[in-house]
Amino acid sequence: MPLKNSFSTPHLSYPKSAIYSAVIGCLISAQAGAVGFIINPTSQLTGMANAGSTIYSKSIAVISINPAAMSLMSEKQLGGNLSLVFPDWEIDEAWDCQAENNCADSNVAPVSVIPTFGIIRPMDNNFTWGIGAGAIAGAGFDYGKEFKSRTIVTENSVQVLGIINSIAWQMNEQWSFGVGLGIIYGKYEQDMNLPSLNANVGNDITEVFNLVGDALDCSGPPAVVAACRAAAIANSNLDIESSAENFQSIAHYLDGGSGTDVELEGDDIGAEVILGATYQYSDRHSFGMAYHYMSDFTFEGDANIYGKLLSDEARQKQDSSLTWDMPQRFIISGAHQIGERLDIYWDFERVFFDTFESTDVRIDGYPVIVLDRNFKDANRYAIGGEYHYNDKWTAQFGFSFDESPVDDEDRLADIPVDEIKKIAFGGLYQYSPTLSLHGYMSIELLGDAKIEQLASIDGHKIGHSVQMESDATLYVIGASFSYKF
């Protein structure tokens, strides 16, 4: 059973993990409090920094967080949420980007609008059913066409959305168990700008990355830079000197000129499985836990190439694919009633990112590009509470800390994730016995996301002059409702 007190508390919607969304096509292009690129989308638990996520039974979000907690909800109900995420994300380049004319655009992450929705229905024989849909993972950045990382990324986005069908069974007054089965849809887009080179030089794009990375590290007086670039060209496995056209093109590119635009896009369908349980230790103390499995993606689609990419053709459209490993997750939560007015919640989450070792990019007609990721397992910690002023009003507060899933020496510009500190506040209002309303805000302080190279390809780090940090804060506001019928 859920925590009890003498005041009525609202039944509202909270999306986290694979949360319901009324608009499946919405783009979640900025992280909303997540470990790595795993999203903790926003709803009423945002007011507690997502603490108590597997035991907070006053929310239909349990459909996709911990299905077992649906057994603690005795009435049919639906809920929805609308959240706005305002990023303030600036890049602090370690090089003189003004002189080189390759600074990042201001505020590289866009504003996100996140709508959500879900429904729960108790059934016979201690079973409860629920269905919901929403965002699971997402990230997106637009550095601009001239940014120094353009060889790897100028703009990208990844969105993972899911529909979860869950069922729960209450075994007795202490134990409940649940399972959720879902379909997840992922979409990936990434734009790059590489030197325009014809077919005489070969067909290995990895060698282009290596050449550009070595040439970007050249510094000093013009004569020294010219000699360094000439050595990089001579040491590459590309036959740049096979034609004057290639030699002029690479020189133009290294001086800041535009090259060949490559736009990768693809999508895939996978599966998610959620197993959960709740345990009511006493009327004042309860616990929940959940395990999430998500299948990996191979985003299949097209590579649109505008310019000569190791080819004599000025325009190509090739089949392409990109691998993306999704982590498994384990979450445990507690809920504790302190007196008659205060409830305290906590969360511990382990995200198993260590399988995300690389991304394989395949474009028909070219060798495979292997981008090293070297992600590691990371934890999320959260604590929050609710203070019940009366039977109408409840105040929320919370703090969370998410560890970085990648070390500084392995982080790349296309996934600049780091630790996150979140401070959150919210308010719940019981408008009537059947309708409750909620508003919240949070401030999320993202780590500096330090980057120390252009890329790491097949274990070889290149472009050590591409060093930068981020100054990033996310401001999240939103409103939720819950209706019992």
Per the listing, tokens 């007196």 go with 339
pLDDT in tens, 374-408: 999 999 999 999 999 999 999 999 999 999 999 99
Residue 232 in domain: no
pLDDT band at 451 (very low <50, low <70, confident <90, very high): very high
Residue 138: predicted pLDDT: 66
Residue 22: predicted pLDDT: 26
Residue 58: predicted pLDDT: 84
Does 453 have pLDDT greater than 50?
yes
pLDDT in tens, 282-305: 999 999 999 999 999 999 999 999
- Pairing state between β 328-338 and 342-352: antiparallel
Residue 40: predicted pLDDT: 59
Question: What integer is the mean pLDDT of 471-475?
Answer: 89
Residue 6: predicted pLDDT: 28
Residue 353 in domain: yes
Question: What integer is the mean pLDDT of 269-279?
Answer: 96
Structure tokens at 29: 């292009």
At 22, the amino acid letter reads A
Residue 155 in domain: yes
Closest CA to 37 of 193, 188, 166: 188
At 382, the amino acid letter reads A
Cα separations (Å) of 27 from 8, 159, 294? 35, 7, 20
Provide, rounded to the nearest whole percent, the portion of the chain with pLDDT above 90: 59
pLDDT band at 13 (very low <50, low <70, confident <90, very high): very low
Residue 191: predicted pLDDT: 94
Q: Which residue has the higher pLDDT, 24 or 363?
A: 363
pLDDT in tens, 219-230: 889 999 999 998
Residue 245 in domain: no
Question: What integer is the mean pLDDT of 207-226?
Answer: 91
Residue 8: predicted pLDDT: 29
Residue 17: predicted pLDDT: 31
CA 376 to CA 358: how far, in whole Å?
12
Structure tokens at 44: 């009423």
Does 131 have pLDDT greater than 70?
yes
Question: What integer is the mean pLDDT of 440-456?
Answer: 92
Closest CA to 484 of 237, 119, 29, 221: 119
* C-alpha triplet 129, 177, 290: angle, nearest 5°: 100
Question: What integer is the mean pLDDT of 115-144?
Answer: 84
**Greatest mean pLDDT among 46-50, 59-63, 290-294, 472-476:** 290-294
Does 33 have pLDDT greater than 70?
no
CA 254 to CA 379: how far, in whole Å?
41
Beta bridge partner(s), residue 157: 140, 189
Residue 65 in domain: yes
Structure tokens at 175: 């134990």
Closest CA to 321 of 337, 343, 297, 305: 297
Structure tokens at 137: 């993972």
Residue 211 in domain: no
- For the chain, what is the domain count? 1
Residue 41: predicted pLDDT: 53
Residue 153 in domain: yes
Does 26 have pLDDT greater than 60?
no
Mean of pLDDT over the chain: 86
Closest CA to 428 of 400, 386, 399, 398: 386
Question: What integer is the mean pLDDT of 99-123?
Answer: 84
Q: How many CB atoms lie within 10 A of CB 432?
A: 9
pLDDT in tens, 56-67: 988 888 898 999
Residue 18: predicted pLDDT: 31
CA 70 to CA 458: how far, in whole Å?
46
Residue 307: predicted pLDDT: 93
Alpha carbon 376 to its chain's center: 15
Residue 479 in domain: yes
CATH number at residue 278: 2.40.160.60
SS3 string, the chain, reads CCCCCCCCCCCECCCCCCCCCCCCCCCCCCCCCCCCCECCCCCHHHHHCCCCCCCCCCECCHHHHCHHHHHHCCCCEEEEEEEEEEEEEEEEECCCHHHHCCCCCCCCCCCEEEEEEEEEEECCCCEEEEEEEEEEEEEEEECCCCCCCCCCCCEEEEEEEEEEEEEEEECCCCEEEEEEEEEEEEEEEEEEEECCECHHHCCCHHHHHHHHHHHHCCCCCHHHHHHHHHHHHHHCCCCHHHCHHHHHHHHHHHCCCCCEEEEEEEEEEEEEEEEEEEEECCCCEEEEEEEEEECCEEEEEEEEEECCECCCCCEEEEEEEEEECCCEEEEEEEEEEECCCEEEEEEEEEEEHHHCCEEEEEECCCCCEEEECCCCCEEEEEEEEEEECCCCEEEEEEEEEECCCCCHHHCCCCCCCCCEEEEEEEEEEECCCCEEEEEEEEEEEECCCCECCCEEECCEEECCCCCEEEEEEEEEEEEEEEEEC
Closest CA to 89 of 405, 448, 424: 448
- Interacting residues of 424 by C-beta distance below 8 A, sequence separation 6+: 46, 47, 48, 49, 384, 396, 397, 398, 399, 400, 440, 441, 442, 443
Specify the pTM. 0.86
Answer yes or no: are the C-beta atoms of 6 and 138 closer than 8 Å.
no
Residue 136: predicted pLDDT: 67
Length of the chain: 485
The domain of 64 spans 44-196+259-484
